[in-house]
Amino acid sequence: MPNLNASATVSRPLRGLLKERFGFEAFRPYQEEVCEAVYGGQSALLVMPTGAGKSLCYQVPGLARGGTTLVVSPLVALMEDQVQKLKALGFRAERIHSGRERAESRAVCEAYLAGALDYLFIAPERLAVPGFPEMLAKRRLALIAIDEAHCISQWGHDFRPEYRMLGARLPTLRQGEAESPCPILALTATATPTVQRDILSQLQLDAGKCFIHGFRRTNIGVSVLELATAERLDRVRNLLASKERRPAIVYASTRKNAELIAEGLKGDYRVGFYHGGMGKEERERTQLAFLEDRTEVMVATLAFGMGIDKPDVRTVVHAALPSSLESYYQEIGRAGRDGLDSKAYLMWSFADRKMQEFLHEKNYPALEELDKVFAVVAQGDRSREGLAEELKLDGDLVDAAIQKLWIHGGLKVEPDDTLRATKVDWRPSYARQSRHRLDQIQRMVSFAEGTRCRMLALIQHFGDEQDSGRGCGHCDICAPDESAFRAPDEAEMAMLKGLVLALRAREGQSLGRIHREAAGKLDRSRFETCIQALSKSGLVRVLDRSFEKDGETIRYRSVEVDDFDDDDARWGSLRVPAEAPKAPRATTKRKAAAARSAPNATSFGDEIDEATKGRIERLKAWRLEEARRRKAPAFTILSDKTLMAVAASGASSAEQLQAVHGMGPKLVEKHGESILRLLASR
């Protein structure tokens, strides 16, 4: 086992491997410290931004320790990319995931048992396959790396139940033939202090070392633009007009919006679009065109970006408000990986907030709705298929309720989708998670409304305590674009002075309350713009505050007003936006109402032809067999709605299957071949 008595002794073999096997002259900032700890047998959590070099932090010490490094990753595309890169460097690297043939996976297992692998990448679901963990435990593992570790935490932005089980499954693997347990390195680019604590607890690494580093991106200037949805396409076009602002990624909120924005930019740029509804080959062609600079602007949903290592992306634009700061930070991190100056623009309005809240209501039904489902199942086992009709509730709502009850322990769901109530008190856990998701939306909105350095706000959100705490100097707060602002006119100055008096009289109160009770006829959007102007001039300070009520953290913003008079020089520094902001609340309400009343695109009438009925039965039989094999509920393999849509489509190719609502790229890669075979059979 390596000796950690002297740092120089530890670093020597690591630096040698770094140069001889990986081709790097020196470690990047923070990498060497992590590699030393892991090489010496220390388990750790590494939180480091996208593009900062996390992968090297398990690749180098794992190789130095000897044996095989096991990498658990939830992303097939990223797994494939990592294996390809390691093989290109001459390493013995392989992967096992659902997209591979059984014979291929069997050959990988044989290579592992023969000691012929330096790195083995697996999907987390593999550890639930009977006999697989025991097979891995037959050999000594050098290191276990858990990528995208935020997926372990129910407080993370991409929580996955199968990741939650890793803590219970890892002890068997850590022992192997070694005298002491092999180290675990959990890696993520997006984990707040709350998520960090949960990861350590779930992996039983409470004594593990935490490395929270490098969240300051000195070369990315972040700007927030408050714009009505209708104005955003023109602004995107203008932002990218300079050649220095391309290549660029534009993130859209939906597949439809991605295609619309791409179409709107076609006359000006070499543009492509990318989303989960495209076929695998088409996505790969689109991605390659961007990597090879044949496309200079990529308009995409969040399906694009994971594992994309393009160093010269100059601009990242969010054409709508993301659901969390974690997602947002990860996405802007795809800009400027070459270290050169880059820009990130966030477009939003009050309408975005309402849309995020509307989506939250769909994903997290009210506690009363879950109670209705639970109460019926508690009377006796039920079939999931007939439950919506029995309760006379919307099928989507019931499916969401069942999934949440299953995740939080209120229901057991058998492979054949039989529902069985448990005695677990699921309500507190569900309520906490629902509140947490709402809190993530609120934090994202607070960031957009914020009046302090954008980069510093992100750094502090992730708990990077080693940061200097200085402003970045080039975000829209630290260095506002003077052409976009002007001095207030006489009427506006009088309004601002009146607002300061109201703020001084109500110091400590929430800004929301002040707006309701003391802001006169100012709408909320204009009120926030005024607060931002006063804050930038130094006349007021905006503070983030919180208090506890009934076990819930309530967050709000308040202001402190300096002591000054009408002759203070800061009045002369006041600047307001050149164009008054718009807050299209009526539009938002109409959209939300339309979304609620829209017909279900995949619903079916009573009349289903015999051919479709046959496909439905074959798909259900296959789904049940797959669920029993994986010991998981059938709806986690394929939801009823998606199954019905697939059966009705009669798809005969992966591209056609991809176009079916609910069939994302992961599902097609995982089950596409089996589904197409069933659709084609008679």
Query: 365, 400 in Cβ contact below 8 A?
Result: yes
User: Phi/psi class of residue 468: alpha, beta or left (left: φ > 0; alpha: ψ in -120 to 50)?
Assistant: alpha
User: 158-173, pLDDT tens digit by residue?
Assistant: 667 677 778 777 877 8
**Three-state DSSP state, 34:** helix
- Which long-range contacts link 563-572 to residues 24+ away (Cβ below 8 Å)? 564/539, 566/497, 568/539, 570/537, 570/538, 570/539, 571/493, 571/537, 571/539
For range 647-676, the mean pLDDT: 79
Alpha carbon distance 406, 426 (integer Å): 9
Which stretch of 165-179, 298-312, 576-590 has the lowest confidence by average pLDDT? Answer: 576-590
**What angle do the packed helices 640-649 and 665-680 form, to 10 degrees?**
50
Query: 622, 416 in Cβ contact below 8 A?
Result: no
Alpha carbon distance 476, 225 (integer Å): 9
CA distances from 387 to 238, 334, 378, 405 (A): 52, 44, 13, 14
Which stretch of 80-84, 97-101, 565-569, 578-582 has the lowest confidence by average pLDDT? Answer: 578-582
pLDDT band at 208 (very low <50, low <70, confident <90, very high): low
Find, among 203, 209, 92, 79, the residue nearest to 152 by Cα. 203
Alpha carbon distance 297, 403 (integer Å): 38
- The answer to whether the bond into 247 is cis (omega within 30° of 0) is yes
Residues in the chain: 682
For each of the domains in the chain, give its residue range(s) and CATH number, in order of start: 7-212 (3.40.50.300), 220-348 (3.40.50.300), 480-588 (1.10.10.10), 609-682 (1.10.150.80)
Alpha carbon distance 595, 213 (integer Å): 42
Find, among 160, 347, 336, the residue nearest to 236 by Cα. 347
Residue 273 forms beta bridges with which residues? 299
Query: 92, 98 in Cβ contact below 8 A?
Result: no
User: 533-553, pLDDT tens digit by residue?
Assistant: 787 778 888 777 777 666 566
Give me the pLDDT at residue 673, please: 84
Residue 184 forms beta bridges with which residues? 144
User: 430-447, pLDDT tens digit by residue?
Assistant: 888 888 888 889 889 989
Alpha carbon distance 465, 56 (integer Å): 23
What does the mean pLDDT of the chain come to? 82
Find, among 210, 283, 645, the residue nearest to 462 by Cα. 210
User: 97-122, pLDDT tens digit by residue?
Assistant: 877 888 999 999 999 999 999 999 99
Element (H, E) at 372: helix 367-378
The Cα diameter of the chain in Å comes to 86
pLDDT band at 260 (very low <50, low <70, confident <90, very high): very high
Alpha carbon distance 255, 257 (integer Å): 5
